Amino acid sequence: MVVVGFSFSKIFIEKKEAIPSKVEVKSKINVDDIFKEDIKLVEKKDVLRFNFTYDIEYAPNLAKIDFTGHLLVVADPKEAEEVMKNWKKNKTIDPKIKLSVYNTIFHKCNVKAFELEEDFNLPLHLKLPQISADKEK
């Protein structure tokens, strides 16, 4: 499976009050639905659409960022059929496929979230690496 498309359909941000120095930030990714798209991007391959939500919440009820969108994945027909069968039966995704899908969602949404957090003066929801000077021996 290969991710071939990604799109946001909604981005929501709300800052309700000033953010204290200590804040708890929670995030959650969810695949809301999966279905076959009726488009042919690659011959003899199926296209699956994964609708998702990714929410970042600054607790307790201080601010939130919500993303809604979808990504398109090209798969062999047999693999696509298995994904659809598992989804329709019990709303599960094979762990290998889920990892790829979630990493794509995580990457795309976090880049956008960093920009929004800067614009709204919110602390970053993920800790970025820091460069430090070497300690002298």
Contact predicate 10/67, CB 8 Å = yes
Assess if residue 23 is contained within a domain.
yes
Per-residue pLDDT of the chain (137 residues; tens, 9 = 90+): 888 999 999 999 999 888 887 889 999 999 999 999 888 777 788 999 999 999 999 988 899 999 999 999 999 999 999 999 999 999 999 999 999 999 999 999 999 999 999 999 998 898 877 888 877 66
pTM of the model: 0.87
pLDDT attached to residue 40 = 77
CB-based contact 29:84 (threshold 8 Å): no
The answer to whether position 134 is within a domain reads: no
* Dist CA 56 CA 136 (whole Å): 40
Asked if residue 77 belongs to a domain, the reply is no
Question: Per the domain annotation, does 87 fall within a domain?
Answer: no
- Residue 92 to residue 38: CA distance in whole angstroms: 22
Contact status, residue 120 vs residue 13, Cβ threshold 8 Å = yes
Q: Does residue 33 belong to any structural domain of this protein?
A: yes
Please indicate, yes or no, if residue 14 is contained in any of the structural domains: yes
User: Range of 112's domain?
Assistant: 1-38+45-65+93-126
Q: Is position 85 within any domain? A: no
The total domain count for the chain is 1
Q: Return the structure tokens found at 120.
A: 């709204």
Structural domain contains residue 104: yes
What single letter denotes the amino acid at residue 57? E
What ranges in 91-121 are assigned the alpha helix state H?
95-119
**pLDDT on residue 23:** 87
